[in-house]
Structure 1
Amino acid sequence: MDQIVRDALAKWPNVPACTGWLLLDRRGQWRMRDDACQAAGGIGDVIRHDALKRFIARNYEADASGRWFFQNGPQRVFVDLAYTPHVVRLHRGGAAHEGDTPRLVDECGNPFAPAAGWFDDQGNVLFSGTGTNGAATPPTIALLHDHDLALFAECLDADLPPDATAHATPDAAVSVSPDGATMPRAVAWGGGRSLPFAPIPAAEIAKRFGFVQRPDL
Protein backbone atom coordinates (compact mmCIF):
# COMPACT_ATOMS: atom_id res chain seq x y z
CA MET A 1 0.00 0.00 0.00
CA ASP A 2 1.33 3.46 -0.91
CA GLN A 3 2.57 5.59 1.97
CA ILE A 4 0.35 8.45 0.81
CA VAL A 5 -2.62 6.10 1.21
CA ARG A 6 -1.51 5.08 4.71
CA ASP A 7 -1.17 8.74 5.64
CA ALA A 8 -4.68 9.50 4.31
CA LEU A 9 -6.13 6.59 6.30
CA ALA A 10 -4.49 7.88 9.46
CA LYS A 11 -5.80 11.39 8.85
CA TRP A 12 -9.35 10.38 7.81
CA PRO A 13 -9.98 6.92 9.32
CA ASN A 14 -13.78 6.87 9.06
CA VAL A 15 -14.51 7.60 5.39
CA PRO A 16 -17.39 5.32 4.29
CA ALA A 17 -16.50 2.50 1.88
CA CYS A 18 -18.30 2.04 -1.42
CA THR A 19 -19.27 -0.87 -3.67
CA GLY A 20 -20.25 -1.35 -7.29
CA TRP A 21 -17.99 1.30 -8.80
CA LEU A 22 -14.98 -0.80 -9.76
CA LEU A 23 -14.86 -4.19 -11.49
CA LEU A 24 -12.08 -6.58 -12.52
CA ASP A 25 -13.12 -8.35 -15.71
CA ARG A 26 -12.11 -11.77 -17.07
CA ARG A 27 -9.18 -10.28 -18.97
CA GLY A 28 -7.67 -8.49 -16.00
CA GLN A 29 -8.96 -5.06 -16.99
CA TRP A 30 -10.13 -2.57 -14.39
CA ARG A 31 -13.56 -1.15 -15.28
CA MET A 32 -15.28 1.93 -13.86
CA ARG A 33 -19.03 1.64 -13.30
CA ASP A 34 -21.00 4.86 -12.78
CA ASP A 35 -24.57 5.04 -11.46
CA ALA A 36 -26.13 4.50 -14.89
CA CYS A 37 -23.93 1.49 -15.58
CA GLN A 38 -24.73 -0.06 -12.22
CA ALA A 39 -28.47 0.49 -12.75
CA ALA A 40 -28.26 -1.18 -16.17
CA GLY A 41 -26.19 -4.08 -14.86
CA GLY A 42 -23.29 -3.26 -17.19
CA ILE A 43 -19.65 -4.14 -16.62
CA GLY A 44 -18.40 -0.59 -17.13
CA ASP A 45 -15.76 1.23 -19.14
CA VAL A 46 -12.16 0.01 -19.26
CA ILE A 47 -9.76 2.24 -17.34
CA ARG A 48 -6.96 3.12 -19.76
CA HIS A 49 -5.03 5.73 -17.75
CA ASP A 50 -1.73 3.99 -16.99
CA ALA A 51 -0.92 5.93 -13.83
CA LEU A 52 -4.38 5.20 -12.40
CA LYS A 53 -4.05 1.49 -13.22
CA ARG A 54 -0.69 1.35 -11.47
CA PHE A 55 -2.16 3.16 -8.45
CA ILE A 56 -5.02 0.65 -8.24
CA ALA A 57 -2.59 -2.25 -8.61
CA ARG A 58 -0.35 -1.04 -5.78
CA ASN A 59 -3.30 -0.65 -3.42
CA TYR A 60 -5.33 -3.77 -4.27
CA GLU A 61 -5.83 -6.11 -1.32
CA ALA A 62 -8.39 -8.34 0.39
CA ASP A 63 -9.98 -8.05 3.81
CA ALA A 64 -10.53 -10.87 6.30
CA SER A 65 -13.92 -11.67 4.73
CA GLY A 66 -12.45 -12.27 1.28
CA ARG A 67 -13.69 -8.98 -0.16
CA TRP A 68 -11.12 -7.49 -2.53
CA PHE A 69 -10.76 -3.73 -2.54
CA PHE A 70 -8.81 -0.77 -3.89
CA GLN A 71 -7.75 1.58 -1.11
CA ASN A 72 -8.30 4.98 -2.76
CA GLY A 73 -6.71 7.27 -0.23
CA PRO A 74 -8.94 7.18 2.86
CA GLN A 75 -11.80 5.43 1.04
CA ARG A 76 -12.05 1.67 0.55
CA VAL A 77 -13.53 0.83 -2.86
CA PHE A 78 -14.69 -2.79 -2.93
CA VAL A 79 -14.14 -4.52 -6.26
CA ASP A 80 -16.69 -6.62 -8.12
CA LEU A 81 -15.03 -9.67 -9.64
CA ALA A 82 -16.19 -10.99 -13.01
CA TYR A 83 -14.70 -14.33 -11.94
CA THR A 84 -11.54 -14.48 -9.81
CA PRO A 85 -9.53 -11.90 -7.81
CA HIS A 86 -6.62 -12.24 -10.22
CA VAL A 87 -6.17 -12.79 -13.95
CA VAL A 88 -2.80 -14.03 -15.19
CA ARG A 89 -0.92 -13.98 -18.47
CA LEU A 90 1.30 -16.90 -19.39
CA HIS A 91 4.84 -16.43 -20.69
CA ARG A 92 7.52 -18.89 -21.69
CA GLY A 93 11.10 -18.18 -20.69
CA GLY A 94 12.29 -14.59 -20.78
CA ALA A 95 15.71 -14.28 -19.17
CA ALA A 96 18.41 -16.49 -20.62
CA HIS A 97 18.66 -18.61 -17.46
CA GLU A 98 14.92 -19.36 -17.52
CA GLY A 99 15.06 -21.39 -20.71
CA ASP A 100 11.52 -22.32 -21.75
CA THR A 101 10.08 -22.33 -18.21
CA PRO A 102 6.44 -21.14 -18.04
CA ARG A 103 5.78 -18.14 -15.82
CA LEU A 104 2.66 -16.23 -14.81
CA VAL A 105 2.14 -12.48 -14.36
CA ASP A 106 -1.05 -11.10 -12.80
CA GLU A 107 -3.20 -8.11 -13.76
CA CYS A 108 -1.07 -5.88 -11.54
CA GLY A 109 2.14 -6.86 -13.35
CA ASN A 110 3.35 -8.99 -10.44
CA PRO A 111 4.69 -12.56 -10.69
CA PHE A 112 2.20 -15.22 -9.65
CA ALA A 113 3.67 -18.41 -8.18
CA PRO A 114 1.34 -21.36 -8.93
CA ALA A 115 0.94 -24.28 -6.55
CA ALA A 116 -1.70 -26.13 -8.58
CA GLY A 117 -3.78 -25.79 -11.73
CA TRP A 118 -7.46 -26.32 -12.39
CA PHE A 119 -9.83 -26.92 -15.31
CA ASP A 120 -13.36 -25.66 -14.68
CA ASP A 121 -16.54 -26.89 -16.34
CA GLN A 122 -16.72 -23.81 -18.59
CA GLY A 123 -13.47 -24.48 -20.41
CA ASN A 124 -11.32 -22.13 -18.31
CA VAL A 125 -7.83 -22.75 -16.95
CA LEU A 126 -7.03 -21.44 -13.47
CA PHE A 127 -4.06 -21.45 -11.13
CA SER A 128 -4.03 -21.40 -7.35
CA GLY A 129 -0.98 -20.01 -5.65
CA THR A 130 0.54 -16.88 -4.17
CA GLY A 131 0.99 -13.44 -5.64
CA THR A 132 4.00 -11.26 -4.88
CA ASN A 133 2.71 -7.69 -4.65
CA GLY A 134 5.10 -6.77 -1.87
CA ALA A 135 2.59 -7.56 0.89
CA ALA A 136 1.88 -10.72 2.84
CA THR A 137 -0.44 -12.19 0.22
CA PRO A 138 -2.51 -15.23 1.20
CA PRO A 139 -2.94 -18.13 -1.26
CA THR A 140 -5.54 -17.27 -3.88
CA ILE A 141 -6.66 -18.21 -7.38
CA ALA A 142 -6.23 -16.63 -10.78
CA LEU A 143 -7.96 -17.10 -14.13
CA LEU A 144 -5.73 -17.61 -17.17
CA HIS A 145 -6.39 -14.92 -19.81
CA ASP A 146 -8.23 -16.53 -22.71
CA HIS A 147 -5.67 -15.22 -25.22
CA ASP A 148 -3.08 -17.51 -23.61
CA LEU A 149 -4.99 -20.79 -23.91
CA ALA A 150 -3.09 -21.75 -27.08
CA LEU A 151 0.24 -21.13 -25.35
CA PHE A 152 -0.97 -23.18 -22.40
CA ALA A 153 -1.79 -26.01 -24.82
CA GLU A 154 1.89 -26.02 -25.78
CA CYS A 155 2.72 -26.60 -22.11
CA LEU A 156 0.37 -29.57 -22.12
CA ASP A 157 2.30 -31.02 -25.04
CA ALA A 158 5.58 -30.79 -23.16
CA ASP A 159 7.23 -34.05 -22.14
CA LEU A 160 6.36 -34.85 -18.53
CA PRO A 161 8.83 -36.37 -16.09
CA PRO A 162 8.16 -40.03 -15.12
CA ASP A 163 6.69 -39.01 -11.75
CA ALA A 164 4.60 -36.16 -13.18
CA THR A 165 1.43 -37.27 -11.40
CA ALA A 166 3.07 -38.23 -8.12
CA HIS A 167 2.09 -35.01 -6.38
CA ALA A 168 -1.35 -34.50 -7.93
CA THR A 169 -4.09 -33.40 -5.57
CA PRO A 170 -6.36 -36.18 -4.20
CA ASP A 171 -9.38 -35.03 -6.23
CA ALA A 172 -7.40 -35.21 -9.47
CA ALA A 173 -7.98 -38.94 -9.96
CA VAL A 174 -10.03 -38.04 -13.04
CA SER A 175 -9.32 -34.86 -14.98
CA VAL A 176 -11.75 -34.32 -17.84
CA SER A 177 -12.25 -31.20 -19.91
CA PRO A 178 -15.75 -29.87 -20.74
CA ASP A 179 -15.68 -31.63 -24.13
CA GLY A 180 -15.01 -34.96 -22.45
CA ALA A 181 -11.33 -35.23 -23.36
CA THR A 182 -9.01 -36.63 -20.70
CA MET A 183 -6.49 -34.06 -19.55
CA PRO A 184 -3.08 -34.63 -17.94
CA ARG A 185 -3.00 -34.57 -14.15
CA ALA A 186 0.23 -32.61 -14.18
CA VAL A 187 2.12 -30.25 -16.45
CA ALA A 188 5.88 -29.88 -16.68
CA TRP A 189 6.69 -26.48 -15.18
CA GLY A 190 10.44 -26.21 -15.59
CA GLY A 191 13.31 -27.03 -13.28
CA GLY A 192 12.15 -30.64 -13.05
CA ARG A 193 8.95 -29.51 -11.35
CA SER A 194 5.49 -30.75 -12.31
CA LEU A 195 2.35 -28.75 -11.59
CA PRO A 196 -0.68 -30.84 -10.52
CA PHE A 197 -4.00 -30.19 -12.26
CA ALA A 198 -7.54 -31.14 -11.28
CA PRO A 199 -11.12 -30.41 -12.40
CA ILE A 200 -13.29 -28.00 -10.42
CA PRO A 201 -16.85 -26.68 -10.96
CA ALA A 202 -16.93 -22.96 -11.66
CA ALA A 203 -19.71 -22.56 -9.10
CA GLU A 204 -17.38 -23.75 -6.31
CA ILE A 205 -14.41 -21.50 -7.04
CA ALA A 206 -15.35 -18.54 -4.79
CA LYS A 207 -16.27 -20.68 -1.78
CA ARG A 208 -13.25 -22.95 -2.09
CA PHE A 209 -10.77 -20.11 -2.34
CA GLY A 210 -12.51 -17.76 0.10
CA PHE A 211 -13.34 -14.67 -1.92
CA VAL A 212 -16.49 -12.64 -2.57
CA GLN A 213 -17.39 -11.81 -6.16
CA ARG A 214 -19.99 -9.13 -5.34
CA PRO A 215 -19.06 -7.45 -2.05
CA ASP A 216 -21.71 -5.79 0.11
CA LEU A 217 -21.18 -3.25 2.86
Structure 2
Amino acid sequence: MTTEEHVVLVDRDGRALGTAPKTSVHGRETPLHLAFSSYVFDREGRVLLTRRADHKITWPSVWTNSCCGHPLPGEPVDRAVVRRLSYELGIEAERADLMLPAFSYRAVMANGIVEHELCPVYRVVVDASVSPNPDEVGETRWMPWKEFAEGAQNGLLAISPWCREQVPLLTELGSDPLRWQPASSDDLPLAARL
Protein backbone atom coordinates (compact mmCIF):
# COMPACT_ATOMS: atom_id res chain seq x y z
CA MET A 1 0.00 0.00 0.00
CA THR A 2 1.44 3.37 -1.02
CA THR A 3 0.83 6.48 1.02
CA GLU A 4 -0.22 9.69 -0.66
CA GLU A 5 2.55 12.18 -1.38
CA HIS A 6 2.41 15.39 0.67
CA VAL A 7 3.75 18.86 -0.14
CA VAL A 8 4.96 21.58 2.22
CA LEU A 9 2.65 24.59 2.55
CA VAL A 10 4.41 27.92 3.08
CA ASP A 11 3.59 31.53 3.87
CA ARG A 12 4.70 34.55 1.81
CA ASP A 13 7.93 34.72 3.82
CA GLY A 14 8.83 31.13 2.99
CA ARG A 15 8.06 29.66 6.41
CA ALA A 16 6.48 26.20 6.58
CA LEU A 17 2.83 26.17 7.64
CA GLY A 18 2.28 22.42 7.51
CA THR A 19 1.65 19.85 4.80
CA ALA A 20 -1.18 18.80 2.53
CA PRO A 21 -1.78 15.90 0.13
CA LYS A 22 -0.33 16.76 -3.29
CA THR A 23 -3.63 15.87 -4.95
CA SER A 24 -5.45 18.52 -2.87
CA VAL A 25 -3.25 21.53 -3.65
CA HIS A 26 -3.71 21.98 -7.40
CA GLY A 27 -7.13 23.51 -8.01
CA ARG A 28 -8.84 26.88 -8.18
CA GLU A 29 -7.72 27.83 -4.65
CA THR A 30 -4.17 26.50 -4.74
CA PRO A 31 -2.27 27.46 -1.57
CA LEU A 32 1.34 28.61 -1.80
CA HIS A 33 3.55 25.53 -1.48
CA LEU A 34 7.18 24.50 -1.85
CA ALA A 35 8.29 23.14 -5.22
CA PHE A 36 11.34 23.25 -7.51
CA SER A 37 12.24 23.65 -11.16
CA SER A 38 15.35 22.18 -12.75
CA TYR A 39 17.20 22.74 -15.99
CA VAL A 40 19.32 19.82 -17.21
CA PHE A 41 22.27 20.61 -19.49
CA ASP A 42 24.67 18.40 -21.40
CA ARG A 43 28.39 19.16 -21.65
CA GLU A 44 27.75 21.19 -24.83
CA GLY A 45 25.45 23.57 -22.98
CA ARG A 46 22.24 22.27 -24.55
CA VAL A 47 19.18 22.35 -22.32
CA LEU A 48 16.79 19.41 -22.03
CA LEU A 49 13.19 20.49 -22.66
CA THR A 50 10.22 18.30 -21.83
CA ARG A 51 6.64 18.27 -23.03
CA ARG A 52 4.39 17.53 -20.08
CA ALA A 53 2.30 14.36 -20.36
CA ASP A 54 -1.15 14.84 -21.89
CA HIS A 55 -2.96 13.76 -18.71
CA LYS A 56 -1.20 16.16 -16.27
CA ILE A 57 -3.63 18.26 -14.19
CA THR A 58 -1.65 21.46 -14.73
CA TRP A 59 -0.43 22.53 -18.16
CA PRO A 60 -0.85 19.16 -19.92
CA SER A 61 1.05 18.78 -23.21
CA VAL A 62 2.94 22.06 -22.67
CA TRP A 63 6.69 22.36 -23.30
CA THR A 64 8.70 23.40 -20.26
CA ASN A 65 12.06 23.12 -18.51
CA SER A 66 13.57 19.72 -17.81
CA CYS A 67 11.82 18.70 -14.60
CA CYS A 68 9.63 20.18 -11.89
CA GLY A 69 8.36 18.70 -8.66
CA HIS A 70 7.84 19.02 -4.93
CA PRO A 71 10.19 18.09 -2.10
CA LEU A 72 8.64 15.71 0.40
CA PRO A 73 8.27 17.04 3.95
CA GLY A 74 11.77 16.97 5.49
CA GLU A 75 13.51 16.29 2.16
CA PRO A 76 16.31 18.66 1.07
CA VAL A 77 15.24 20.33 -2.19
CA ASP A 78 18.41 19.40 -4.10
CA ARG A 79 17.80 15.73 -3.21
CA ALA A 80 14.21 16.07 -4.42
CA VAL A 81 15.55 17.34 -7.76
CA VAL A 82 17.82 14.29 -8.10
CA ARG A 83 14.97 11.94 -7.08
CA ARG A 84 12.51 13.38 -9.61
CA LEU A 85 15.06 13.43 -12.44
CA SER A 86 15.55 9.70 -11.89
CA TYR A 87 11.80 9.03 -11.77
CA GLU A 88 10.69 11.29 -14.65
CA LEU A 89 13.64 11.08 -17.03
CA GLY A 90 15.78 8.10 -15.96
CA ILE A 91 18.67 10.50 -15.27
CA GLU A 92 21.03 9.55 -12.45
CA ALA A 93 22.41 12.96 -11.50
CA GLU A 94 25.24 13.41 -9.01
CA ARG A 95 24.09 16.80 -7.79
CA ALA A 96 21.82 19.75 -8.41
CA ASP A 97 23.20 23.30 -8.19
CA LEU A 98 20.97 26.03 -6.75
CA MET A 99 20.60 28.97 -9.17
CA LEU A 100 17.49 30.98 -8.20
CA PRO A 101 16.84 30.35 -4.49
CA ALA A 102 13.74 32.52 -4.01
CA PHE A 103 11.81 32.22 -7.29
CA SER A 104 8.05 32.23 -6.79
CA TYR A 105 5.12 32.42 -9.19
CA ARG A 106 1.37 32.13 -9.52
CA ALA A 107 -0.23 31.12 -12.82
CA VAL A 108 -3.84 30.39 -13.78
CA MET A 109 -4.89 27.99 -16.54
CA ALA A 110 -7.82 28.80 -18.85
CA ASN A 111 -9.98 26.34 -16.86
CA GLY A 112 -9.24 28.17 -13.59
CA ILE A 113 -6.73 25.70 -12.12
CA VAL A 114 -3.92 27.55 -10.33
CA GLU A 115 -0.25 26.82 -9.76
CA HIS A 116 1.10 28.81 -6.79
CA GLU A 117 4.62 27.83 -5.84
CA LEU A 118 7.69 28.96 -3.99
CA CYS A 119 9.98 27.31 -6.48
CA PRO A 120 13.80 27.39 -6.19
CA VAL A 121 15.47 26.75 -9.54
CA TYR A 122 18.36 24.30 -10.03
CA ARG A 123 20.89 23.46 -12.75
CA VAL A 124 21.98 19.87 -13.37
CA VAL A 125 24.79 18.92 -15.77
CA VAL A 126 24.76 15.35 -17.08
CA ASP A 127 26.46 13.01 -19.52
CA ALA A 128 23.65 10.48 -19.34
CA SER A 129 21.02 9.65 -21.89
CA VAL A 130 17.35 10.26 -21.17
CA SER A 131 14.63 7.65 -20.67
CA PRO A 132 11.33 9.53 -20.17
CA ASN A 133 8.61 8.13 -17.94
CA PRO A 134 5.39 8.37 -20.02
CA ASP A 135 3.36 9.01 -16.86
CA GLU A 136 5.18 12.35 -16.57
CA VAL A 137 6.74 13.26 -19.91
CA GLY A 138 5.25 13.19 -23.39
CA GLU A 139 8.38 14.12 -25.33
CA THR A 140 11.90 15.48 -24.85
CA ARG A 141 14.16 17.70 -26.92
CA TRP A 142 17.70 19.04 -26.50
CA MET A 143 18.19 22.66 -27.62
CA PRO A 144 21.17 25.03 -27.51
CA TRP A 145 20.63 27.31 -24.48
CA LYS A 146 21.10 30.55 -26.44
CA GLU A 147 18.51 29.52 -29.03
CA PHE A 148 16.05 28.41 -26.34
CA ALA A 149 16.54 31.52 -24.17
CA GLU A 150 16.06 33.87 -27.12
CA GLY A 151 12.97 32.02 -28.32
CA ALA A 152 11.48 31.95 -24.83
CA GLN A 153 12.06 35.65 -24.20
CA ASN A 154 10.86 36.76 -27.63
CA GLY A 155 7.63 34.77 -27.34
CA LEU A 156 8.60 32.52 -30.25
CA LEU A 157 8.34 29.35 -28.15
CA ALA A 158 5.15 28.20 -26.44
CA ILE A 159 6.35 27.22 -22.95
CA SER A 160 4.95 26.96 -19.43
CA PRO A 161 4.36 30.23 -17.55
CA TRP A 162 6.92 29.44 -14.85
CA CYS A 163 9.58 28.64 -17.43
CA ARG A 164 8.82 31.90 -19.25
CA GLU A 165 9.44 33.81 -15.99
CA GLN A 166 12.57 31.85 -15.05
CA VAL A 167 14.50 32.14 -18.32
CA PRO A 168 15.18 35.91 -18.14
CA LEU A 169 16.43 35.51 -14.56
CA LEU A 170 18.72 32.67 -15.60
CA THR A 171 20.12 34.63 -18.55
CA GLU A 172 21.16 37.33 -16.09
CA LEU A 173 23.59 34.76 -14.62
CA GLY A 174 25.61 34.77 -17.85
CA SER A 175 25.54 33.49 -21.43
CA ASP A 176 27.13 30.09 -20.64
CA PRO A 177 24.90 27.97 -18.38
CA LEU A 178 27.81 25.66 -17.54
CA ARG A 179 29.61 28.61 -15.92
CA TRP A 180 26.76 30.00 -13.84
CA GLN A 181 27.83 30.43 -10.23
CA PRO A 182 25.55 28.57 -7.81
CA ALA A 183 23.70 30.52 -5.14
CA SER A 184 24.13 29.83 -1.44
CA SER A 185 21.68 27.44 0.20
CA ASP A 186 21.47 30.10 2.93
CA ASP A 187 19.37 32.10 0.45
CA LEU A 188 16.71 29.40 0.22
CA PRO A 189 13.32 30.09 1.83
CA LEU A 190 13.23 29.00 5.47
CA ALA A 191 10.97 26.02 4.68
CA ALA A 192 13.61 24.71 2.25
CA ARG A 193 16.60 25.00 4.60
CA LEU A 194 17.07 21.62 6.25
TM-score normalised over the length of structure 2: 0.34
TM-score normalised over the length of structure 1: 0.32
User: Structure with the greater relative contact order (CA < 8 A, sep ≥ 6): 1 or 2?
Assistant: 2
Q: Which is greater in Rg?
A: 1
